[in-house]
Amino acid sequence: MATSFKALAELCEKLGATRKRLLMIDMVADFLKNLEAQEVEPAVSMILGRAFPKWSQQTLEVSWATLSDIIKRITGIDWKVFLDAFGKTGDVGSATKTVFEEAKVKRQVTLFERTLTIAEVRRSLEAIAETIGAGSREKKERLIEALLSLASPLEAKYLIKIFIGEMRTGFHEGLMEQAVSEAFQIPLNTVQKASMTIGDIGEVAVIAKTQGKEGLAKIKFKVFRPVGLMLAQMADGIAEALKEHEGKTSFEHKLDGARVQIHKLNNEVRIFSRRLTDVTESLPEIVETARKNITAKEVILEGEVIAVDSHGYPIPFQHLMRRFRRVHAIEDAAERIPAKLYLFDILYLNSESLISLPYTRRRQILAENVGGIPLTKQLVTDKLEEAERFLKEAIDAGHEGLMAKKPDSPYTPGVRGKRWLKIKPVLEPLDLVIIAAEYGYGRRHEWLSDYYLAARDVESGEFLAVGKTFKGLTDAEIIEMTKRLKESAIKEEHRRVFVTPKTVVEVTYNEIQKSPKYKCGMALRFARISRIRDDKMPEEADTIQRVREIYEKQFLKKGRYKAE
Ligand code: AMP
């Protein structure tokens, strides 16, 4: 029998109400066991807050502005009700539920009134995602409205959460793997391995149900289906990387570009971004390069695409990202920022998965199969000074730092670990002043935890924002900071509180970018508060002029390197 969406919403509600992991796993496993085969993947995706499987290129493309307009239309409720509820919980889904309850709308009891099933919800989501192009907006809205109109308050809560992609039940992918293992009586490591390989636990669950352990053991990579990326952790420096990798490691230039996964079968090439989006169309010259140089019939490769100037010198990453954003736009070739590909890994070659091979072996195979495409520059060493020189050389060549990859390590899709470490020399920290703050979300919804950071403009004496961060402070410090900022509050607008410039904080960051977002035209990337500088007065904070100096220095060859 078809399973109702209501049952799924109730399950999610129960998940959100407990923190007991084993209990959560049991509940989900029980739920999965009773599903029909075609319901399994949609249910798994939805429980994880996804409308579609992870590798799918379908996206809903609906903004909160659109969703909130629709909620207003359906319920006809004063929006203050929503804002109050949101203020209390910090959760958009819960606030939607309150609005739906409050409206007590007798849902349009049509002749066909019936409960929504999981399959129907998936079909609606597909229809919404498929509505693209000119004149699609209204149609999309109508589809969403039709779906939400059938929903009970609890169902609406979870539909909205799926729309915005955030469940907040605490039930994540790792737990889902355990639930699938329990539901279908399959060893956890078989489930995990299959999930890494095809990159979607929903599909793994379907195979587990229909073909059991044998089916999962047979799972292989599929060309044109993006594989989850292996991710790196930050290391303090070269010494730490050497120690972590047991004395000797493979250092590589860390290029400041965009990660790409390149799939090729015969003459067809597709390129996926870090977020596993198909970006083939925005990188035609990289497609050409791959076609010309790679003779193997079937491969999955990884590398970094960087933007370069007319001398081939790397230019900041944001220039390249502009190209990704214009994925669907047809652009003038002359306008294109030249892009260059460097490869660093190979996952799959002619029907064979290579991910269990040691990294050094994969690099060898990579080098043998990519013709003239350059690899990221590499140095395998156990010598600290040699590695330090290599780092300096990378920075001097305009790159970001180094990656250290454990020479004997396999490729672990979707896993962030210490086998890959990134080493970036930090830019000197700035002392900045907090001029406004926003309430956080979830656990932090009553705390001012997101801070606008400003530097002083010597000319006008004004404090101008150069960035925003919610990172770096402990809970206790945030609570203390909330108190302190409330005392100097000037006005409150929505969830933002403007304060008099009093508190100085030391901020680290990776880069200063050009940005239209702030009046000063610059923005810190990856800002993080490293400490509160109560010993400093706002007048002593760093100036806009200083920020600009550092911004400009970044472009000088040696600008990014800070001698230790
Ligand atoms: P981060 O984006 O700071 O988490 O650093 C990891 C990213 O560095 C990867 O996702 C790649 O986009 C990028 N990267 C640049 N050069 C390399 C390299 N040689 N090996 C692996 N990743 C690299």
Task: Give the model's pLDDT for residue 276.
Answer: 85
Distances in Å between the Cα of 35 and the Cα atoms of 54, 147, 207 are 20, 22, 13
Position of tokens 């989850």? 228
Q: Which amino acid, one-letter code, is at 85? A: A
CA–centroid distance, 303 to ligand 1, in Å, is: 9
Q: Is the pTM of this model over 0.75?
A: no
On whether the 5-164 domain is CATH 1.10.1040.10, my answer is no
Q: DSSP for 507-564?
A: EE-SEEEE-TTSTTSEEEES-EEEEE-TTS-GGGSPBHHHHHHHHHHTTSTTTT----
Quick one: tokens of 422? 């990134």
User: What are the domain boundaries of the chain?
Assistant: 5-164, 231-423, 430-560
CB half-sphere exposure, 516, CA atoms < 13 A? 1
Determine the average pLDDT of the residues in 148-167.
92
* CB 305, CB 286: distance < 8 Å: yes
Q: What angle do CA 416, 192, 417 make, to 5 degrees?
A: 15
pLDDT over 90, % of the chain = 64
Q: Which amino acid, one-letter code, is at 3? A: T
CA–centroid distance, 403 to ligand 1, in Å, is: 7
Task: Give the model's pLDDT for residue 458.
Answer: 81
Q: Which of 250, 304, 347 to mutate to test the pocket of ligand 1 (most atoms within 8 A of CB)?
A: 304
Q: Is 299 in the pocket of ligand 1 (CB under 6 A)?
A: no
Of 83-97, 209-223, 269-283, 322-336, least confident by mean pLDDT is 322-336
Q: Which amino acid, one-letter code, is at 47? A: I
Determine the average pLDDT of the residues in 230-245.
91
Identify the bridge partners of residue 437 per DSSP, sorted by sequence position.
451, 497
Residue 219 CA to residue 194 CA, distance in Å, equals: 6
List pLDDT tens digits, range 380-416.
999 999 999 999 999 888 888 999 999 999 999 888 8
Residue 174 CA to residue 180 CA, distance in Å, equals: 10
- Start-to-end CA distance of the chain, whole Å, equals 67
* CB 435, CB 452: distance < 8 Å: yes
Mean confidence (pLDDT) of the chain: 89
Residue 252 CA to residue 381 CA, distance in Å, equals: 11
Q: What secondary structure letter does DSSP report for 326?
A: T
Angle between helices 153-164 and 92-103 (to 10 degrees): 150
- Looking at the CA of residue 259, tell me the nearest atom of ligand 1: 12
* Catalytic residue selected from 140, 157, 161, 254: 254
Q: What are phi and psi of 11, to 5 degrees?
A: -60, -50
Q: Is 419 in the pocket of ligand 1 (CB under 6 A)?
A: no
CA–centroid distance, 255 to ligand 1, in Å, is: 7
| 105/489: higher pLDDT | 489
Q: Is 376 in the pocket of ligand 1 (CB under 6 A)?
A: yes
* CATH number attached to the domain at 231-423: 3.30.470.30
Tell me which residue has its CA closest to atom 3 in ligand 1: 422
Distances in Å between the Cα of 540 and the Cα atoms of 468, 507, 528, 544 are 20, 14, 19, 12
| SS3 sequence of 432-470 | EEEEEEEECCHHHCCCEEEEEEEEECCCCCCEEEEEEEC
> Where does the pLDDT of residue 335 fall: very low under 50, low under 70, confident under 90, or very high at 90 and above?
low
Task: Give the model's pLDDT for residue 139.
Answer: 94
Q: Which of 270-279, 404-413, 545-554 has the highest mean pLDDT?
A: 404-413
Position of tokens 């079909």? 123
Determine the average pLDDT of the residues in 355-363.
97
CA–centroid distance, 201 to ligand 1, in Å, is: 25
* CB 376, CB 425: distance < 8 Å: no
List pLDDT tens digits, range 462-509.
899 999 999 999 999 999 999 999 988 888 888 999 998 889 999 989
pLDDT > 70? residue 51: yes
Identify the bridge partners of residue 298 per DSSP, sorted by sequence position.
265
CA–centroid distance, 237 to ligand 1, in Å, is: 16
Active site residue 254: yes
Residue 370 CA to residue 269 CA, distance in Å, equals: 14
Q: What secondary structure letter does DSSP report for 480?
A: H
Determine the average pLDDT of the residues in 229-242.
89
Residue 379 CA to residue 497 CA, distance in Å, equals: 50
Residue 201 CA to residue 460 CA, distance in Å, equals: 56
> Where does the pLDDT of residue 522 fall: very low under 50, low under 70, confident under 90, or very high at 90 and above?
very high
Residue 178 CA to residue 263 CA, distance in Å, equals: 30
Task: Give the model's pLDDT for residue 558.
Answer: 38
Taking alpha carbons only, the member of 44, 43, 37, 28 closest to residue 206 is: 37
Residue 118 CA to residue 123 CA, distance in Å, equals: 9
Fold match flag (5-164 vs 231-423): no
* CB 380, CB 403: distance < 8 Å: no
Q: What is the dihedral of CA 451, 456, 461, 463, to 10 degrees?
A: -10
Q: Which of 23-27, 161-165, 234-238, 495-499 has the highest mean pLDDT?
A: 23-27
CATH of 430-560, picked from 1.20.1420.30, 3.30.300.30, 3.40.50.1100, 2.40.50.140, is 2.40.50.140
Taking alpha carbons only, the member of 268, 264, 289 closest to residue 341 is: 289
Q: Which amino acid, one-letter code, is at 346? A: I
Determine the average pLDDT of the residues in 230-239.
88
